[in-house]
Structure 1
Amino acid sequence: MQTRPQLDITLCAPRGFCAGVDRAIQIVELALEKYGAPVYVRHAIVHNKYVVDGLRDKGAVFVEELDEIPDGDAPVVFSAHGVPKSVPAGAKARNMFFLDATCPLVSKVHIEANRHHAEGREIILIGHAGHVEVIGTMGQLPEGAVTLVETVADAEAFEPRDPEKIAFVTQTTLSVDDTSEIVAALRRRFPAITLPHKEDICYATTNRQEAVKAVAPNVDALVVVGAPESSNSVRLVEVAQRSGCDNAVLVERADKIDWSRFEGISTLGITAGASAPDALVDEVIEAFAQRFDIKVTASGQQREHITFNLPRELRQPQAATPGA
């Protein structure tokens, strides 16, 4: 009998679901429980096909625009990535009942952008063109109020109306290192630029990138479990490659693994993007266990103690205190 090669797997921690993703999924599930199917969801609630398919099986109906939703009283949920102001305005105009699953850390960026605009500043948004979060943030303000900057070259080319009256905000799921280079260029060119009150890149993105940086130099290959549409998952692959693991790949789920990438390896790192559930990580580990004699160890901080409140409409009423 042929013996399987030994493989030491290091699980990066933290990995997988963040508080904003967890909240968004809960909103859809609780809306289905409370109001029954269908519950309409504008855009994929989070960027993960497994999660979306699971919610669809329970009665969620995914649409890209509100005009795909028939008139009626079925709830509509806005995705975790946030939406332009025109979307809730359109929902109100049709008397739709909607629940906003925008991650509170994305909402924080929206609030900052509105405040800068109200105070007369021109706004730079550091982010990726076409990403739904960027569309939502730019859609908070009138056309022309926000300029998208994607690269250091964009930052060098940007010409403000008044260099004394500019501010920047960022997409929450960017590479920390890339963003710091862009910010450095902006601060060098425009010393008066107003910075975010607190870092816009979210805690989950930062923590997952730091965990990958610690593991990547010490493994032959690294798997990021996540969807190709997921910005934070794609960034994790880039971070791993820059940190010394050239053989870093994005894997949507176990049946998508290209096994030719893992021939002859003896050490492997595994992490997951913030919208990838633990079930998919377990599935990937099991797939490696079919081909290798695996030993799994964890690296890094295991738990993130952050939770976000659910919308008021979905919170359980508190039980009355006995004797009150």
Structure 2
Amino acid sequence: MATTEVRDVLLAEPRGFCAGVDRAIEIVERALQQFGAPIYVRHEIVHNTYVVSDLKAKGAIFIEELDQVPPGATLVFSAHGVSKAVRLEAQARGFQVFDATCPLVTKVHVEVAKLHKEGYEFIMIGHKGHPEVEGTMGQLSDSIYLVEEAADVAHVPVRDPSRLAVVTQTTLSVDDAAEIMAAVKARFPLVREPKQQDICYATQNRQDAVKVLAPQVDIVIVVGSPTSSNSNRLREVALRKGTPSYMVDQPSDLRPEWFEGKSRVGLTAGASAPDILVQQVIERLKALGAVSVRRMEGVEETVRFPLPKGLGGSGLNGTGLR
């Protein structure tokens, strides 16, 4: 099968599902078990094609606008969080709502609401159009300004630089966020930073693992969907280390020509990518010649988030998603 020289596969540790993604998927599965299909989900529960397709097959219906949901239905908010307006609309329409917003995103929302009451304006570091950014900025009707890169900081129309706070999207590149933060602090020395940085532990851990992985291999493969912010960042981290890197949504996306002259393959997965896909990619790499698969040493994640009230049952499934 082509002229690849693939021999070794090195698995990043940690990789794949984080606690927030685990919790979000389990919320949809338990809602389906308890209330039966269909369960409506606003936006993709997490940004992964396999996960969304699996839940659709079980009876989840993914929508973007609440007028697509019939009266009296059960609705789940995605892991990315929603604006205050969406929350109020769901309440007004009388849906039974289960909130799968990642608790680390909720923490940012709470911080924004608290400081806004104290008269603060906000700079949000993030990617325009990403649902998490829309949800966080939608906690306020004004006084929150999005910056996507360091150059944007110069154009932020802040009224009182002494009452300014900064928040970030949780799935950013740690290095990119630090660069933009430096620009914010240079223009606004009195800016209030989060007590703990907003970039989530799982995003940080997976990026740190790739920084260790990339110099040890000839190529890095990231398992993740194109819409997944944290998966895209992993590919960029590897590229910055000088290692060719590609993102695949499924094993059939792997191209034999990528591996010509490459004997050591690094493999990781975004926080929304299930392990079953990683295993399938490993099988495909074995078909390309890989004979050894070993795991890097890495951080062991023990974080678990509680489910919302009103969802009982085992929540376990046989899909290999967890």
TM interval, short-chain normalised: over 0.9
Structure 1 residues 191 and 68: alpha-carbon distance in aligned structure 2, compared to 1, 3 A threshold: same
In structure 2, distance between residues paired with 1:3 and 1:228? 28
Q: Give the total of aligned pairs.
A: 313
CA contact (8 A) 1:120 1:165 kept: yes
Correspondence 1:55 to 2:55: yes
Paired position in structure 1 for 2:88: 89
* Cα displacement (A) at 1:57: 0.6
CA RMSD of aligned residues (A): 1.6
* Cα displacement (A) at 1:74: 2.7
* Cα displacement (A) at 1:4: 7.9
CA contact (8 A) 1:232 1:273 kept: yes
Paired position in structure 2 for 1:34: 34
Q: Which has the higher contact order (CA 8 A, sep 6+)?
A: 2
Q: Which runs of 4+ in 1 moved over 6 A?
A: none
Q: How does 1:131-170 map onto structure 2 within 5 Å? A: 131-142=130-141, 144-170=142-168
Larger radius of gyration: 1
Q: What SS class does the counterpart of residue 73 from structure 2 fall into?
A: coil
- When structure 1 is superposed on structure 2, of 108-117 and 11-20 the one drifting more is 108-117
Q: What CA deviation, in whole Å up to 9, does each residue of 1:167-222 have, x standing for no partner? A: 10000000000100111111122111111021100000000000000010121100
Paired position in structure 2 for 1:202: 200
Paired position in structure 2 for 1:256: 253
Instruction: Give TM-score, length-normalised by structure 2.
Output: 0.94
* Cα displacement (A) at 1:157: 3.2
What percent of counterpart residues are identical? 54
Paired position in structure 2 for 1:173: 171
Paired position in structure 2 for 1:80: 79
Q: How does 1:268-307 map onto structure 2 within 5 Å? A: 268-301=265-298, 303-307=300-304
Structure 1 residues 69 and 312: alpha-carbon distance in aligned structure 2, compared to 1, 3 A threshold: same
Structure 1 residues 293 and 202: alpha-carbon distance in aligned structure 2, compared to 1, 3 A threshold: closer
Instruction: Give TM-score, length-normalised by structure 1.
Output: 0.94
In structure 1, distance between residues paired with 2:255 and 2:86? 40
Paired position in structure 2 for 1:225: 223
Q: What CA deviation, in whole Å up to 9, does each residue of 1:92-143 have, x standing for no partner? A: 111110100000000001011111211111100000000000000011111x
* Cα displacement (A) at 1:244: 2.2
The runs of 5 or more residues in structure 2 that have no matched partner are 315-322
CA contact (8 A) 1:4 1:293 kept: no
Amino acid at match of 1:228: P
The runs of 5 or more residues in structure 1 that have no matched partner are 318-324
In structure 1, distance between residues paired with 2:3 and 2:153? 55
Paired position in structure 1 for 2:98: 99
